[in-house]
Structure 1
Amino acid sequence: MSQFSDLQDSAFFRVPKENSFAALPTDFFTRIPTTPLKDSILVHANPSVGELLELGPRELESKEFLNIVSGSTPLPGGDTLAAVYSGHQFGVWAGQLGDGRAHLLGEVSGPRGNWELQLKGAGPTPYSRRGDGRAVLRSSIREYLASQAMSGLGIPTTQALSIVSAKDRVIRETVESAAVVARMAPSFIRFGSFEHWASRNAPQQLTVLADYVISRFYPECLLPEAGVTETGEQRYVRFLRAVVQRTARLMAQWQVVGFCHGVMNTDNMSILGLTLDYGPFGFMDAFDAKHICNHTDTQGRYAWHAQPAVAHWNLYQLANSLHVIAPDADALRAALDTYDGIFLQEMQTRMSAKLGLGVWQLGDEALIDDLWSLMQANHADFTLTFRQLAYAPGVAGVDTAQASRDLGGTVGPGLVPFVDLFIDREAAIAWLDKYQARLRSAPAQDSGARVNGMLSVNPLYVLRNYLAQKAIERAEEGDFSEVQALFDVLRSPFTFQHGKDAYAAQPPAWATTIEVSCSS
């Protein structure tokens, strides 16, 4: 390891590693080396994620770092492998799947916990299903930026450490440049990891997997309820209930920012409640409850309005898998039945904050439903509707200069009012009257505090598809400056950034022609 001797201060380069997943029985994975790319170059490295591994600028810019995150050199002390899992894809049982283009390099212990490091696009594995195991620059940039966008919004997600490009060519719809994303999470285990063993009626492997996940990530589930005599199987029911809670909260977080995952198969559902596997995702521009971000999803199974119900369905598949080792079906069903209440409570809390309503009151649901209907009828911009509501004329005194700054240039010189986001201005004014009456009915609230609260939860900048597309087109020409610029904006999505008005503006007409699919 002499080649890393001058970088030993970083946990990333220190040995040995813990590699807890690699310590599981070998039928959970296949040890398989990465396939190096040719003449790799570092497109970008995330300094905030690097800090989780004690990586500073010197380490991130080093040749040793590039060699590891491009798949040319193994992680020091790591144990490179690809995991097996199964799953339902578009509601249909797909059988055995697995890491077809991902390699888990190892597990790094940093100052804020342990992180598995995985390379996406580093070559074929036994689970590639006749694929080449590669990722393209286009999709890699989308995943890299999406991870930062979600992290900036405070939404649980896998983290992207770096993106690497190379001269290798990959054939998709066209010939494209190969790339590798290094991503991190405490674990990449999915619902499909449990389905795999349940489908094989393998209780021993299911028990090993469940006990591993519980002991490392859900230790509270090991504690029996006070005064209750129980069997060991009940910890799996508590585990299911905990996953239900995390998943329900994640769905609410997606919904309130207009995020569409696009391919919510059970093998893309994190057992830790993280946003996992960015493919044909999208943040909504013009609001449409039935918005489909995945061009492949011709039936609209994963449309925006369907996501909470799909997540619940996916949890049922997880419960079916756990039933092999937790025979009490009624207890499992009771754990699943907590989903709706948790999701509803989370939505109420978050929507109340987005509208600056304070404590939830009777009638707020109707007010919010009316707003969704108004946005639907007018295809109002999702992000800007909530952002500009903070300064809706008539709600409170408006400092034009401050409002223009906080809204990031999305209003004109005379402060274009909230209602001008709607084709039917009269309908918008009528709703705004009801909104103003609701605010007056609540205990007196300082106008400045209300505005600041709304601005703190309603982003000004999101990763709109057309912004990602512009960064991709520049990068394909060898110019990565727009990746950097967009990355910087997405780090602070709630705060006005001087000179970045273009990143907050409504999309141009050509943006509606962008299509993303499962190959994205």
Structure 2
Amino acid sequence: MKNFRINNRFTAELPADPDLTNEVRQVKNTLFSYVNPTKPSNPKLIHVSEEVAELVGISKDEIKSEEFLNVFSGKEILPETQPYAMCYAGHQFGNWAGQLGDGRAINLTEVENNNKFYTLQLKGAGKTPYSRTADGLAVLRSSIREYLCAEAMHYLGVPTTRSLSLALSGDQVLRDVLYNGNPAYEKGAIVCRVAPSFIRFGSYEMLTARNELKNLKQFVEFTIKHYFPEITGDPKEQYLKFFQKVADATREMILHWQRVGFVHGVMNTDNMSIHGITIDYGPYGWLENYDPDWTPNTTDSQNRRYRFGNQPQVAQWNLFQLANALYPLINEAAPLEKILDTFITDFENDYKTMFLSKLGIFTSSEADDKIIKGLEEILQLSETDMTIFFRNLSKIKKDHSVEQAFEKIEFAFYIPEEIRGNILDAWQKWLTVYLKRLNAEELSDNERSEKMNQINPKYVLRNYMAQLAIDAADKDNYSLVTELFELLKRPYDEQPESEKWFAKRPDWARTKVGCSMLSCSS
């Protein structure tokens, strides 16, 4: 990578683990451990994002080189770099889990390009001191899901890590996909993901929990210096401004999740980025039918802590844990509590504006709360596809009758024969109010439709779509990975040649593993 400008600020300025053995252990008084990726036996490149390559300073010619394949599969190490795994802790499903760390992720290096910094990280590159009982490897199915989803989220306008490359390792990996005692060998794979950094809420939690307050202070100041240089003031003021910025960025990220119907599935504090970007794609999913109680994570199927409708509250809870971690530097609860208290209030205000924009309503009215609440309730009376419903809502015109308006949205119903009696009455009443509200808007039908179609995507990475790509890839056919990658680069465009993907979840996907049931190994 001849144009790489390597600048490893994280390893140069923060305390390293003096023990260079790659043995699973408790690692104290440090932020990271040096560790090399496990060399794959026969790596093969499946796909590369040329846009992300350009972002970090890799040319199109370099993508085709053997060096690219070897570096981003973990077979070779870039000159002047020392790969490392980060040490952090976290709360998992609301419970303190202690030390976690990069159990199957290895940071290759940090590069500078066009005055921006990017950390390049391999996921599935082998064991680290933080792998606990696992091997640190990843399988093809989870790697395809992460690779496609991160890029899909970017093009949807959702803050996220990026995907640079997807490669096979050439090795077999043993996994129990549903944790039910039925392990099987699967193809191993490695994804290179890219972010400003992979610093998590849990990075600070670990230091405070271990009373490593000197390291905590150094780490927070390092974070502000390099990632929030606009923050000024005395130290305590800077720490509070830092927390406020993390809270604001987190709120914006969750707002986008709710806008497009994305469910993260495992919002542990070690999976929350200080940059307010979506990280660690595991058992994620998009809402098919609009169901605020849905979670894609089988591990969470009983309590549904990470269900779609609870994501804002979980984000606030996670920020509370970050506030606790920062408290020893501030020694004052009130200003932290103020930021936490306003999080949900600010979110609710933003959510209202966002939801109305999905409806094509860009002015305010006293009836708006009733319209939103009414729709959220009616969408759950019968299975209604969220993506299709909101996309087709833009086809309704001001001069439509209630019957004409209903025709525009009825494709979104999974069981059309259910839409009769009380359910049909409820829809007709809501559409009556909605049409009246649209006629109070100044925008023309075409102007409103155009704006709505830039807010409501036509194409999202539904789980069944990802599973079809995985099933084909298991047979060495990667064409569907490429097809979906290209489709999801323009999620708001009509793309008539790809209309087959503007479809409700097929019946076979209701119960198929990988479509409706996903575990943390997914």
Normalising by structure 1, we get a TM-score of 0.91
Q: 1:347, 1:219 → 2: CA distance?
A: 29
The one of 328, 331, 341 equivalent to 2:332 is 328
Compared with structure 1, are the counterparts of its residues 357 and 477 closer, same or farther at alpha carbon in structure 2 (3 Å cutoff)? Answer: same
Does the CA contact (< 8 Å) of 2:85 and 2:102 recur in 1? yes
Structure 1 match to 2:181: none
User: What displacement does 1:303 show?
Assistant: 0.5
Counterpart residue number, 1:478: 476
1:247 Cα offset (Å): 0.7
Contact 2:103 2:130 (C-alpha < 8 Å) held by counterparts: yes
| Aligned partner of 1:46 among 43, 46, 49 | 49
Paired residues of 2:388 and 2:411 also in contact (CA < 8 A): no
> What secondary structure does 1:387 align onto?
helix
Compared CA separation, residues 244 and 395, structure 1 to 2 (3 A): farther
Residues 28-67 of structure 1 mapped to structure 2, 5 A cutoff: 28-67=31-70
Residue 287 (structure 1) aligns with: 290
1:237-276 matched pairs, under 5 angstroms: 237-276=240-279
Q: C-alpha displacement at 1:363, in angstroms?
A: 2.1
Aligned to 1:25: 15
SS of residue in 2 equivalent to 1:176: strand
Tell me which residue corresponds to 1:370: 374
Task: Report the more deviating stretch, 491-500 or 358-367.
Answer: 358-367
Tell me which of 151, 154, 179 is aligned to 2:154: 151
CA offsets, 1:215-259, max 9 Å, x none? 1111222x23xxxxxx42221111111111111111111011110
8 A Cα contact 1:383 1:460, kept in partner: yes
> What is the SS of the residue equivalent to 1:456?
coil
Separation of aligned partners in 1, 2:338 and 2:362? 31
Question: Is 1:418 aligned to residue 409 of structure 2?
Answer: yes
Find the aligned partners of 1:349 and 1:136 in 2 and give their Cα distance. 40
**Contact residue 194 and residue 206 of structure 1 kept, 8 A:** yes
Which residues of 2 match residues 50-449 of structure 1 at below 5 A?
50-111=53-114, 113-173=116-176, 174-221=184-231, 223-224=232-233, 231-297=234-300, 298-392=302-396, 416-422=407-413, 423=419, 424-442=423-441, 444-449=442-447
What is the Cα deviation at residue 22 of structure 1? 0.8
The Cα shift of 1:59 comes to 1.3
Q: State the AA in 1 paired with 2:126.
A: G
Deviation at 1:296, TM superposition (A): 1.2
Matched residue SS, 1:187: coil
Residue matched to 2:23? none
Q: Which runs of 4+ in 1 moved over 4 A?
A: 393-397
1:214 Cα deviation (Å)? 0.8
What's the CA shift for 1:141?
0.2
Mapped pair 1:517 → 2:519 = yes
Deviation at 1:477, TM superposition (A): 0.7
Q: What is the aligned residue count?
A: 486
Q: 8 Å contact 1:102–1:119 — kept in the other structure?
A: yes
C-alpha RMSD over aligned residues: 1.7
Report how far residue 360 of structure 1 moved: 2.8
Does the C-alpha gap of structure 1 residues 114 and 355 become closer, same or farther in structure 2, counting only changes over 3 Å?
same
Secondary structure in structure 2 of the residue aligned to 1:220: coil
Contact 2:126 2:135 in 1 (8 A): yes
Q: CA deviation at 1:420?
A: 4.7
Contact 1:149 1:463 in 2 (8 A): yes
In structure 2, C-alpha distance between the alignment counterparts of 1:61 and 1:361, rounded to whole Å: 56
Q: Distance in 2 between matches of 1:361 and 1:21?
A: 50
Displacement of 1:455: 0.7
CA–CA distance in structure 2, aligned partners of residues 95 and 281 of structure 1: 24
Q: What code does the residue aligned with 1:439 have?
A: L
Per the TM alignment, residue 498 of structure 1 is displaced from its structure 2 partner at its CA by 3.0
**Separation of aligned partners in 2, 1:429 and 1:420:** 16
Which moves more between the two structures, 92-101 or 362-371? 362-371
Q: Per the alignment, do residues 417 and 212 of structure 1 end up closer, same or farther by CA in structure 2, a change over 3 Å counting?
A: same
Alpha-carbon distance in structure 1 between the residues aligned to 2:224 and 2:425: 54
State the alpha-carbon separation in 2 of the partners of residues 480 and 467 from structure 1. 13
SS of corresponding position for 1:305: helix
Q: Secondary structure at the match of 2:468?
A: helix
Q: CA deviation digits over 1:91-140, x for unaligned, max 9?
A: 00000010001110110111261100000011100000021110000000
Provide the rounded CA distance (Å) in 2 between the counterparts of 1:216 and 1:260.
30
Q: Which runs of 5+ in 1 are unaligned?
A: 1-6, 225-230, 404-414
Partners of 1:493 and 1:218 in 2: CA distance: 31
> What CA distance in whole angstroms lies between the structure 2 residues aligned with 1:117 and 1:87?
22
SS at match of 1:477: coil
Q: 1:425 to 1:243 in 2, by over 3 A?
A: same
Contact 2:397 2:445 in 1 (8 A): no
Once residues 257 and 507 of structure 1 are traced to their aligned partners in structure 2, the CA distance between those partners, rounded to angstroms, is 16
User: Structure 2 counterpart of 1:446, which letter?
Assistant: S
Counterpart of 1:58 in structure 2: which amino acid?
Answer: D
Alpha-carbon offset, residue 79 of structure 1: 2.2
Q: Is the 8 A contact 2:464 2:505 kept in 1?
A: yes
* CA–CA separation in structure 2 for the residues paired with 1:475 and 1:463: 16
**Percent of counterpart pairs with the same letter?**
42
Matched AA of 1:268: N
> In 2, distance between residues paired with 1:37 and 1:453?
47
Q: Tell me if the contact between 1:419 and 1:425 (Cα under 8 Å) persists in the aligned partners.
A: no
Q: Which moved more, 1:430-439 or 1:482-491?
A: 430-439
SS of equivalent residue, structure 2 residue 439: helix
